[in-house]
Amino acid sequence: MKKTYLNEIPNLVDKEIEVYGWVHEIRDTAKFLFIILRDSAGKAQILINKEKTEIYNVAKELHHEDVIYVKGIVKKSEIARLGYEIIPNEIKILSKAKHPLALDVTGKINAELNTILDARYLSLRRDDYNAIFKIQSALVRYIREFLYERGFIEIFTPKIIKFATEGGAELFQVKYFDEISYLAQSPQIYKEICSGAFEKVFEIASYYRAEKSRTPYHLTEFLSFDVECAFYSYHDIMDLLESLMKFVINKLYEKNEKEFNILKCEKINVDYKFERIKYDEVISILEPYGIKWGDDLTQHTLKLLEGKIGKKFFFIIDWPTELKPFYTHEHEDNPKITKSFDFNYGFLEIASGGERIYNGDKLVQKLKKMNLNPENFSLFIKALDSGMPPHAGFGLGISRLLLILTNSKNIKEVVLFPRDVDRLIP
Ligand code: AMO
């Protein structure tokens, strides 16, 4: 007989089944012992009659998080909280949990974030964290579904690299035999090169930034979703990102209702045109707070902006050239600004992107202007000089999006095993 998953039992009334799982809760009364069994699909009540001594003798030794096997008959029950119960004919203990455990899996006793992260092996079994990572899995699946439907190719670029793409200060150094290498901060030049062959590419992978930012939104290892498309303008890319977000979020609410109910978080409305606000306009909104043209928009200033325009998805477009990376394409009629965007939910930046420089000579000029050494980019320059189409793309922080969707407070909550300045374990 195969393992029955606990969400299947409503269809198996009066049938004998074999279930496996963890002891979630135990309730002891004069006549009965009630065990709530949990597996990856749900929960079920096991009703043990104390007069059935052979079974009771095993069951009375059970503790939270012991792993057990139960063979029994499914009964519909008016009084059981879950509507069904299993009357066992056999119980076996497969694995004992040593007490005291580091964390209460039922979530009734709350724990500090550090305890939750240190004891990930237990907190992942909690209904709320379990739901968050099921939503993450679905999120990535729906992104892939959307892009495969539209002819995109999924790529896998190297994570050990020789030269920086997003500014030198935030690189992790890795000893690579006899030379120095770095952990990739983004797939930028590789995804651009691939768009020159496959046209429409995407990648979902982890990247590394030695950022010493202790904020609820920064990690040193973060999961990025990157897109690059040949023959797309930055407005085409924003159109793509907007329809992708609407598809993915609506699909999550449709298919993952159970997980969102567990988290008790309100649905985010995506039923409106995501506004494209020019950087210039943002500055005029923020001028009363002393913000000037050319200033970067810090989290503090973006919070002021959120106060003015509300908490919603929107783009900030046409950033000053000085504020964007070397590969960003300038406006032909005004080289002071770029064909670029940030994509925000309220104050929080979720993604950034734009059109790219696709001419080798222009890139060399730009690198020199930014005091970067063109020799370090010789491969990329060759690619640009070999018939590179105009192209555009974006990079989106999956965990920042998940944080918003699950109404979490800290990005580390929505990462299985987060890495930040203070955390390398577990
Ligand atoms: P950028 O540096 O803006 O752009 O990064 C893109 C998105 O990645 C997420 N992100 C992070 N998330 C958590 N912790 C971090 N330390 C962190 N750093 C970045 C954010 C951010 O919006 N190559 C460009 C993208 C492109 O133009 O295609 C890039 O890396 O959500």
Task: Note the pLDDT tens digit of each residue in 137-148.
Answer: 999 999 999 999
Task: Tell whether the model's pLDDT for residue 169 goes beyond 70.
Answer: no
In angstroms, rounded to a whole number, what is the distance separating the alpha carbons of residues 258 and 275? Answer: 31
Give the residue-averaged pLDDT of 87-110. 96
| Ligand 1 cavity residues, CB under 6 Å | 166, 186, 188, 209, 211, 218-219, 222, 224, 226, 349-353, 393-397, 400
Whether 393 and 228 have beta carbons less than 8 Å apart is answered as yes
Beta-carbon count within 10 A of 212 CB: 12
Cis before 325? omega within 30: no
Mutating to test ligand 1, I would choose from 339, 352, 413, 414 the residue with most ligand atoms within 8 A of its C-beta, which is 352
SS3 content of the chain, % helix, strand, coil (to 5): 35, 30, 35
Q: Dihedral through CA 191, CA 196, CA 200, CA 203, nearest 10? A: -20
96-102 CB contacts, 8 Å cutoff, 24+ apart: 96/63, 96/66, 97/63, 97/64, 97/65, 97/66, 97/67, 99/63, 99/64, 101/64, 101/65
**pLDDT level of residue 205 (50, 70, 90 thresholds):** very high
Task: Tell whether the model's pLDDT for residue 198 goes beyond 70.
Answer: yes
Ligand 1 atom at shortest distance from the alpha carbon of 226: 28
| Phi, psi angle pair for 370, to nearest 5° | -95, 15
Using CB atoms within 10 A of its CB, is residue 7 exposed (0-12), middle (13-18) or buried (19+)? middle
The CA 52 to ligand 1 mean position distance, Å, reads 60
**Residue of 211 and 197 predicted with greater confidence:** 197
For 287-324, letters b (16+ CB in 10 Å) and e give eeeebeeeeebeeebbebbbeeeeeebbbbbbbbbebb
pLDDT for the residue 1 = 58
Tens of pLDDT, residues 370-395 = 999 999 999 999 999 999 999 999 99
> Which residue, among 402, 386, 15, 372, has the nearest Cα to 222 in the 3D structure?
402
Give the residue-averaged pLDDT of 103-112. 94
**pLDDT level of residue 213 (50, 70, 90 thresholds):** confident
Mutating to test ligand 1, I would choose from 191, 296, 349 the residue with most ligand atoms within 8 A of its C-beta, which is 349
Enter the tokens of residue 241: 């990102």
Q: How many CA atoms lie within 13 A of 51 on its CB side?
A: 1
Q: In whole angstroms, how large is the CA radius of gyration of the chain?
A: 27
pLDDT for the residue 164 = 77
Tens of pLDDT, residues 44-85 = 999 999 999 999 999 999 999 999 999 999 999 988 888 999
**pLDDT level of residue 87 (50, 70, 90 thresholds):** very high
Ligand 1 atom at shortest distance from the alpha carbon of 185: 30
**pLDDT level of residue 92 (50, 70, 90 thresholds):** very high
Give the residue-averaged pLDDT of 12-22. 97
For 48-59, letters b (16+ CB in 10 Å) and e give bebeeeebbebb
Give the residue-averaged pLDDT of 356-371. 96
Give the residue-averaged pLDDT of 30-47. 97
- β-strands 313-317, 275-278 pairing: parallel
Task: Tell whether the model's pLDDT for residue 2 goes beyond 90.
Answer: no
N- to C-terminal Cα distance for the chain? 37
Distant-in-sequence, close-in-space partners of 381: CB < 8 Å, separation ≥ 6? 360, 363, 364, 374
- Structural domains of the chain, ranges and CATH numbers in brackets: 6-95 (2.40.50.140), 122-414 (3.30.930.10)
> Which residue, among 207, 166, 217, has the nearest Cα to 348 in the 3D structure?
217
In angstroms, rounded to a whole number, what is the distance separating the alpha carbons of residues 49 and 31? Answer: 6
The CA 395 to ligand 1 mean position distance, Å, reads 6
- Ranges of beta strands (E only) in 136-256 are 153-154, 160-161, 173-176, 179-183, 200-208, 221-230
Task: Tell whether the model's pLDDT for residue 211 goes beyond 90.
Answer: no
Give the residue-averaged pLDDT of 30-34. 97
Tens of pLDDT, residues 263-299 = 999 999 999 999 999 999 999 999 999 999 999 999 9
pLDDT for the residue 81 = 83
Residue type at 45? Q
Question: What is the H or E stretch that residue 349 is in?
Answer: strand 348-355
Q: Dihedral through CA 219, CA 221, CA 140, CA 159, nearest 10? A: 150
Enter the tokens of residue 361: 């000579």
pLDDT for the residue 334 = 98
Whether 185 and 352 have beta carbons less than 8 Å apart is answered as no
Residue ID of nearest Cα to ligand 1 atom 24: 395
The structure tokens 């497969």 sit at: 94
Task: Tell whether the model's pLDDT for residue 364 goes beyond 80.
Answer: yes
**pLDDT level of residue 163 (50, 70, 90 thresholds):** confident
Task: Tell whether the model's pLDDT for residue 167 goes beyond 70.
Answer: no
Residue ID of nearest Cα to ligand 1 atom 27: 353
